[in-house]
């Protein structure tokens, strides 16, 4: 049974050694309708592009066909392209018209939310191009002056975004306005008042020990009975560029409504979107109102209103006619609230993926209740995983190691089940270490599945190595040779060395765990400090045990016939017991401190 489990772990490690890399060499995905920004791990160029975007004619009336040409100025090619038409004034979210002709060996179209299909184009391969000509048909109504916005990629890390090309309306009378106004954020005048939490407003505070402005992140919510709308106030600290609020039907990321507030270099922006899976897609802001944002003293705060019902709209790209999917969110229902924070890509309003894990409420929240709620960045199974590992590798393994190395002659006249006391304790605790480790892995695999996430590397791989070795160590211990066997001395040496290696790797794994990218900064700082105290303490205690061991040997050599008198043996045994209890107390304090880092946050 055990060898089969070991092989299973090895199979998991081999199958997850390769990390998938997502590439958009076949064009921008449809989820980028409102960003149009290549996430190529670098910022867009701010210099003038080596391309011209020509439009002919440069004026239009409803239903006209317009020709647009992207042409190189100096022979520079481009590999990637994304283009769409927008209102020059007013609602700059609305995507206009449709592309009706383009070179299909390089360009393809897709549909964003709007009145027509095929209202955005992108590249379909990485073949270099010097020029591309496309034809676009104007809407059947007069929408006023138009801006074509284009993103161009020369090579992976060299690209330009939001290149604007004007198309003027022939007639500036009888302009048909958009059916809604895109919301713009204004400067937040008054700071969030957390003293009213639990009285006039409900609050989710993170971590559980904070009360408001001292929180890492927080959200307040209030139901306005007159309008039937919900007011939300968001806050994050630690000098973040954005803070977001998610409404989730479970406590995991995926199919969640998201409102996102950005303040970067004085630019304020509020967005409404959703997480279709493990990424964010920006959508229309038509459901948001009274949006205010403020960044000061290292804190980012924002305030906004949402109606009872809001929705995100996605387009069926496979349909022959314009077909929408509408995902509706009812804020009168109970939701898990998720607060995330992070950075934006320089000189843009496009967010980077948050590195630190978001705070999630422990329970679904009724947004009409004026109560105080708390949450955590880690689900119950992750907390269980961390707790079991900390207990196993700080507390239990510490005692297992000390017992086997320094307590073989402890309580020499006492037997438990016919065996020395030290051995029974050593064996029981060793089995406990293996059992807790296996259960801990079961918890984390139940939470995330068998696939190793990129963000958990190398913590996960070192941890799997520890699991494999500790199972082998237990098997070897069960197969130990008899006391008179010639290989017993080699077994004892190998068993001890392997145990020390496993303990060292477990310590490395814990350091890596507290310092993963997604680990909240406060947890990194506190958890790493606790582990450093533990390592220094371990070194000090091992010195103490060695001193006691040397002292005991001197007493033996000074006694008559090499035997310690009975009263000296009893005193030594009592002293060893006291020292062991003090050491166990030290391990218990460190264990509780390390666990608190996981449970507080």
Total residues found in the chain within this entry: 601
CA distance 398 to 429: 10
Residue range 388-401, pLDDT digits in tens: 999 999 999 999 99
242 touches 259 (CB < 8 A)? no
Quote the pLDDT of residue 40.
86
Domain boundaries, the chain: 30-169, 202-376, 380-556+565-600
Q: How confident is the model at residue 567 (pLDDT cuts 50, 70, 90)?
A: low
Residue 87: phi and psi, rounded to 5, are: -65, 140
pTM for this one? 0.82
Whether residue 285 is predicted with pLDDT greater than 90 in this model: the reply is yes
Q: Which of the pair, 569 or 377, is modelled with greater confidence? A: 377
Q: CATH for 202-376, among 3.40.640.10, 3.30.565.10, 2.60.40.1210, 2.60.120.10?
A: 2.60.40.1210
- Is pLDDT at 347 greater than 90 in this prediction? no
Concatenate the DSSP letters of all residues of 230-277 into one string: EEEEEEE-SS-SEEEEEEESSSSSSSEEEEEEEEETTEEEEEEEEESS
CB atoms within 10 A of CB 529: 14
CATH 1.10.287 fits 380-556+565-600, yes or no: no
Query: Which segments of 392-520 does DSSP mark as H helices, in order?
Result: 397-406, 421-448, 459-478, 488-514
Exposure string over 491-527, b if 16+ CB within 10 A, otherwise e = eeeeeeebbeebbebbbbbbbbbbebeebbebbbebb
Instruction: Could you please state the CATH topology (level 3) that the domain comprising 30-169 is classified under.
Output: Immunoglobulin-like (2.60.40)
State percent of the chain over pLDDT 90.
64
Q: Quick one: which H or E segment has residue 360?
A: strand 359-361
- The pLDDT score that the predictor gives to residue 564 is 47
pLDDT 10s digits, 495-513: 889 999 999 999 999 999 9
Distance separating alpha carbons of residues 448 and 193, to the nearest angstrom: 37
Mean pLDDT of 85-99: 95
Structure letter (DSSP) for residue 454: G
**Pick from 152, 551, 583: which is nearest to 394 by CA?**
583
In whole angstroms, give the CA distance from residue 598 to residue 601. Answer: 6
What is the tens place of the pLDDT at every residue in 5-25? 333 333 333 333 333 334 457
- Would you state the pLDDT for residue 8? 38
The reply to whether 30-169 and 380-556+565-600 are identical in fold is no
């Amino acid at each position: 049974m055990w060898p089969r489990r070991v092989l299973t772990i090895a199979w998991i490690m081999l199958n997850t050694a390769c990390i998938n890399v997502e590439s958009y060499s076949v064009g921008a995905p449809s989820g980028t309708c409102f960003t149009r920004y290549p996430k190529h791990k670098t910022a867009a160029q701010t210099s003038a592009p080596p391309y011209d975007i020509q439009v002919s004619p440069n004026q239009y009336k409803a239903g006209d066909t317009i020709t647009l040409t992207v042409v190189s100025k100096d022979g520079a090619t481009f590999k990637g392209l994304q283009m769409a038409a927008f209102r020059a004034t007013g609602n700059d979210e609305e995507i206009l018209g449709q592309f009706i002709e383009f070179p299909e060996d390089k360009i393809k179209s897709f549909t964003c939310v709007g009145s027509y299909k095929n209202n955005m184009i992108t590249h379909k391969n990485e073949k270099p191009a010097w020029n591309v000509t496309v034809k676009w048909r104007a809407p059947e109504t007069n929408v006023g002056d138009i801006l074509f916005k284009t993103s161009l990629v020369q090579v992976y890390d060299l690209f330009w975004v939001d290149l604007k090309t004007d198309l003027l309306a022939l007639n500036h009378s009888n302009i048909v306005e958009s059916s809604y106004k895109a919301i713009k954020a204004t400067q937040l005048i008054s700071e969030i008042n957390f003293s009213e939490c639990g009285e006039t407003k409900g609050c989710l505070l993170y971590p559980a020990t904070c009360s408001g402005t001292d929180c890492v992140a927080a959200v307040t919510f209030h139901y306005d009975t007159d309008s039937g709308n919900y007011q939300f106030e968001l806050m994050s600290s630690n000098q973040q560029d954005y803070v977001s609020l998610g409404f989730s039907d479970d406590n995991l990321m995926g199919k969640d409504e998201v409102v996102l507030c950005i303040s970067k270099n004085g630019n304020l922006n509020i967005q409404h979107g959703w997480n279709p899976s493990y990424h964010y897609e920006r959508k229309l802001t038509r459901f948001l109102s009274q949006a205010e944002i403020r960044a000061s003293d290292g804190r980012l705060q924002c305030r906004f209103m949402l109606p009872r019902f809001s929705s995100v709209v996605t387009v069926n790209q496979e349909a022959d006619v314009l077909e929408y999917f509408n995902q509706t969110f009812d804020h009168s229902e109970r939701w898990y609230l998720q607060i995330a924070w992070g950075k934006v890509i320089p000189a843009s309003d496009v967010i980077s993926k948050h590195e630190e894990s978001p705070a999630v409420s422990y329970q679904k929240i009724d947004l009409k209740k004026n109560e105080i709620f708390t949450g955590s960045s880690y689900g119950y199974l992750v907390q269980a995983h961390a707790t079991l590992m900390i207990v196993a590798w700080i507390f239990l393994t510490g005692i297992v190691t000390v017992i086997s190395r320094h307590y073989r002659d402890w309580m020499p006249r006492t037997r438990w089940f016919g065996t020395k006391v030290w051995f029974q304790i050593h064996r029981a605790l060793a089995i406990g270490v293996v059992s807790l480790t296996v259960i801990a892995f079961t918890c984390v695999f139940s939470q995330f599945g068998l696939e190793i996430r990129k963000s958990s590397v190398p913590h996960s791989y070192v941890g799997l190595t520890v699991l494999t070795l500790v199972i082998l160590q237990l098997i070897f211990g069960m197969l130990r040779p008899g006391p008179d066997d010639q290989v017993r001395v080699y077994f004892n040496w190998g068993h001890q060395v392997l145990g020390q290696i496993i303990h060292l790797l477990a310590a490395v794994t814990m350091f890596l765990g507290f310092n993963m990218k997604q680990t909240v900064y406060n947890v990194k700082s506190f958890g790493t400090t606790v582990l450093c105290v533990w390592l220094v303490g371990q070194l000090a205690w091992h010195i103490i045990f060695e001193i006691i061991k040397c002292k005991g040997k001197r007493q033996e050599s000074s006694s008559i016939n090499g035997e310690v008198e009975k009263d000296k043996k009893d005193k030594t045994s009592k002293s060893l017991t006291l020292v062991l209890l003090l050491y166990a107390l030290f391990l218990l304090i460190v264990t509780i401190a390390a666990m608190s880092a996981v449970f507080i946050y």
